[in-house]
A and B are shown apart, each in its own frame.
Chain A
Amino acid sequence: MSLPASAVPDGEGALLHTAGLTRHFRLGGLLSRRMLHAVDDLDLTIHEREIVALVGESGSGKTTVARLLAMIYPPTRGAIFYRGRSVHKLRSRKDVLWYRGEVPMVFQDPYSAMNPVFRVSHGVMRNLKLHRPELDRAQRREEAERVFDIVGLNPAGDMLRKFPYEMSGGQRQRVGFAQALAVQPKLILADEPVSMLDVSIRAGILNMMASLRAEEGASILYITHDIASARYVADRIIVMYAGHAVEQGPTDVVLSRPKHPYTQLLLSAVPDPREKAVPVSADSGEPPRVIDPGEGCRFRQRCPYAIDKCAQMTPALRPMGPAHDAACHVAAVEPAGADGKPAATAVAGSPAAP
């Protein structure tokens, strides 16, 4: 699959980009030939100081993307380029350490991501020792206090001495970010960092992510199923469905003029007490487990606008407007100069509002 026209060609000037990134998992025993397609042909670009949200349901492959980027899995096909270097050609320990230091990951579950027998300073200090060997003991301590301060864990001196069980979920998630920050990252892979937290403290973590970008200059790949929080922090949104990127573009454009029927479904499902309830037919559909898929759009079984072509040909991402792409046979390209129309009319031939 070629890069969509509106993406930066060859990811030039991008901090990180992927080309045809694909990851399949074998299901069943050794002789099994059944393959789960977790991620297929993903072209993703992240620029410096940019927050990109990767949005999708559970099972859409978004966590697999994070793990591929973090070098936890090797890709089945395709490549990841970081500052123009192919990540999977990095061989020496020094190069791999360099990449892992520049691109750390923050995990979803702050309750299980930390070793309960160590103080929370352990992870930060270890990261510092490993990735910044030039610092001596006192400097490491100083740096640990500095990153704890940045993520809002103060007084940092006391906080560093705590054990994970002495902290709330929100505080632990901040420790996760502090660990990432300690290595002077360029890109933080944040895998659902707020989904396990109380609604009341999510805002604090989201605000902290925005300030990490503003003050530390880090880019963030924010992985979430909550499109409302993506809107709150992200510059750009990539919507994933069943292993494919189905829509991408600037946050405001994607949210005000969603082109892909799946994006429209996601948007309509966000509960909002400030709005009147819209009666919906319960869409009980769930993302398919993509086992040995053939050609065709993977959303077609749930799509109200599906046509014959959707079953025969996999739609590729195509430009819908400036820097805005969607992978849908039915979606109509934005006419030049169009302004914010209701989402439903954006799909040609739609029988009624979704």
Chain B
Amino acid sequence: MPEPLLEVDNLSVSYLTDAADIGAVDRVSLTVHAGEFLGIVGESGCGKSTLVFAIAQLLTPPAEITSGRVVFKGQDLVQLTDGELRHVRWRDYSVVMQSAMNALNPMKSIAAQFKDTMRAHGRISADAIRTRSTEVLHLVGIDAAHLDSYPHQLSGGMRQRAMIAMALLFTPQLVIMDEPTSALDVVAQRSLMTQIKELQQQFGFAVIFVTHDMSVVAHYSDRVMVMYAGQVAEIGATSSIFERPLHPYSKGLLDAFPSVHGPRRALTGIPGSPPDLGRPPSGCRFHPRCSEAMAQCTTSEPDLYIVGETEVRCLLYAERLRDAV
């Protein structure tokens, strides 16, 4: 196995407030190999955005990495200074934010924002910048005429595409995307996903794709990580998670959306809401909402158990493993 591109090891992030420290990310470990597409799925407030911000070293106080390492191309990003990070960030990995309307500067044309980005990484001639900007816009299917447009002149889908174009300016090896499609409707969403996948195959970069809608990544990701209350609930190959979800939470997420095919089924969703991370429930953090909860779920905290090639944090599998021994 070649060295992974990104190795996150026991990463914890807390929001340090006067009242309490809120553990938004709790001992998360994951690896991403070159060219891999990892989907991170979870509800709002599960810590998925905090996790990717921590990986990208974009956290601002009161959020703080309390432990763990983020090794990217052999370098621990957590230890780098801002000055050192500036060389890596955007050149080697880039981030596409959830809301392109807020992430793009409304006062500057697309061309000017691309120029800023490129100038931040070295002396590049105006011609070269223009050429590269035109190139990346073409990649995402936007006419070069829009280089001189301002963000408000573009539709939601085009703004997201422009953000992706900006993320590709330096052809990074890792692109982190935080819910890039959640503001789009289904047709625009599908066309954006298809495009991301095509670009990924063309340039071979790895993708970390964050979403709350599991169905979005079903056909595009290689592996899926399901997050709940700051922890990894389940991580494994996309096909096995969609065909045989192990964690009751993954099952719930999969059953939460209606289908246009097949018979109409009653949906239950997942009752209740995600816990307050300042006071996470005892034992398994999912037990108050879990349909398969057992007595010991309220007291003992489950580990990540390896079942086949999937890792799952659920006591149901601890039992089975013990029985098997």
User: What residues make up the interface of A, taking CB atoms closer than 8 Å to B?
Assistant: 57-59, 168-171, 198-204, 206-207, 225-229, 231-232, 255, 265-267, 269-275, 277, 280, 282-284, 286
* Shortest distance between the CB of B154 and any CB in chain A (Å): 10
A-B contact count (CB 8 A): 123
Alpha-carbon distance A283/B252, docked complex (angstroms): 31
- Indicate if the CB atoms of B273 and A199 lie closer than 8 Å: no
Chain B positions 139 through 182: 1 when the CB is less than 8 Å from some CB of chain A, otherwise 0: 00100000000000001111000000000000000000000000
Given contacts A232-B267, A271-B219, contact A286 B261 (CB under 8 A): no
Smallest beta-carbon distance A340→chain B, Å: 12
Known: A201-B273, A280-B194. 5 other contacts (CB 8 A): A57-B185, A271-B215, A271-B219, A272-B218, A274-B259
Q: With A204-B269, A232-B264, A284-B195 in contact, do A199 and B187 touch (Cβ < 8 Å)?
A: no
Task: With CB as the reference atom, state the residue of chain A lying closest to B161.
Answer: A284
CB within 8 Å for A273 and B214 given contacts A203-B269, A286-B155: yes
Interface size class of B (residues with CB under 8 A): 35 or more
Which one of B141, B184, B195, B261 contacts A272 once the chains associate, using CB atoms below 8 Å?
B261
- Minimum distance in angstroms from A228 CB to a CB of chain B: 5
Cα–Cα, bound, A232→B258 (Å): 6
Contacts of B270 in A (CB 8 A): 200-201
- A200, A266, A272: the one contacting B256 at CB < 8 Å is A200
Interface residues of B in 172-214 (CB under 8 A from A): 184-191, 194-195, 198, 212-214
User: Across the interface, which residues of A come within 8 angstroms of B141, CB to CB?
Assistant: 282, 284
Within 8 A of A (CB), among B237-281: 242, 252-254, 256-262, 264, 266-271, 273
Residues of A within 8 A of B257 (CB): 199, 202-203, 228-229
Contact B259 A286 (CB under 8 A): no
Are A271 and B216 also in contact (CB < 8 A) when A199-B253, A227-B260 are? yes
**A169/B260 in contact, CB under 8 A:** no
| B222 part of interface (Cβ distance < 8 Å) | no
Task: Pick 23 A–B contacts, CB within 8 A, sort by A.
Answer: A170-B273, A199-B212, A199-B253, A199-B257, A200-B43, A200-B269, A200-B270, A201-B270, A203-B258, A203-B267, A203-B268, A204-B271, A227-B186, A269-B186, A269-B190, A271-B213, A280-B190, A282-B191, A282-B194, A282-B195, A284-B141, A284-B195, A286-B188
Cα of A246 to Cα of B264 in the assembled complex, Å: 25
A283-B258 in contact (CB<8A): no
**B105 within 8 Å of A (CB atoms):** no
Q: Given A200-B270, A273-B214, A273-B254, are A267 and B260 also a contact pair (CB < 8 Å)?
A: yes
B131 in contact (CB, < 8 A)? no
Q: Closest chain B residue to A203 by CB distance?
A: B269
Q: Are B252's CB and A200's CB within 8 A?
A: yes
Question: Is B189's CB under 8 angstroms from A269's CB?
Answer: yes
Complex Cα distance, B218 from A292, in Å, reads: 41
CA–CA, A273 to B252, complex, Å? 14
Contacting pair B190 A199 (CB below 8 A): no
7 smallest beta-carbon distances between A and B, as pairs: A203-B269, A273-B218, A203-B267, A277-B219, A225-B185, A232-B258, A271-B215
Contacts of A265 in B (CB 8 A): 187
Q: A198-B43, A284-B195 are in contact. Are A270 and B186 (CB under 8 A)?
A: yes
B44 within 8 A of A: yes
Q: Is B187 within 8 A of A269, CB to CB?
A: yes
Of A168, A170, A273, A284, which one neighbours B215 at CB under 8 angstroms? A273
Q: Within the complex, which residue of B188, B214, B219, B271 is in contact with A199, where a contact is CB–CB below 8 Å?
A: B214
Which residues does chain A contribute within 8 Å of B186, judged by CB atoms?
225-227, 266, 269-271
Minimum CB–CB distance from B68 to chain A (whole Å) comes to 27
Contact of A228 among B43, B259, B273 (CB under 8 A): B259
Bound complex: CA A68 to CA B187 (Å): 26
Chain A residues with CB below 8 A from B158, complex form: 286
- Find out whether the CB atom of A266 lies under 8 angstroms from the CB atom of B212: no
Task: Tell me whether A274 and B156 are in contact (CB under 8 A).
Answer: no
Query: Which one of B155, B157, B242, B264 lies within 8 Å of A273 (CB-CB)?
Result: B242
Within the complex, the shortest CB–CB distance from A259 to chain B, in Å, comes to 16
Q: Are A57 and B214 in contact (CB under 8 A)?
A: no
> Does the CB pair A271–B185 fall under 8 Å?
no
A199→B185 contact, CB < 8 A:
no
In the complex, which residues of chain B have a beta carbon less than 8 angstroms from the beta carbon of A168?
A: 273
Interfacial chain A residues near B155, Cβ < 8 Å: 59, 286
Contacts of A231 in B (CB 8 A): 258, 260, 264
- B195 and A228 form a contact (CB under 8 A): no
- Determine whether the beta carbon of A200 is less than 8 Å from that of B253: yes
Contact A199-B256, Cβ < 8 Å, known A57-B187, A271-B218, A282-B195: yes
Q: Which residues of A contact B215 (CB under 8 A)?
A: 199, 271-273
| Residue numbers in A under 8 Å from B156 (CB-CB) | 58
Bound form: Cα–Cα A280–B43 in Å: 29
Closest-by-CB residue of A relative to B213 is A199
Q: Are A284 and B191 in contact (CB under 8 A)?
A: yes
Question: Scoring B residues 20 to 41 as 1 if CB is less than 8 Å from chain A, else 0, what string do you get?
Answer: 0000000000000000000000
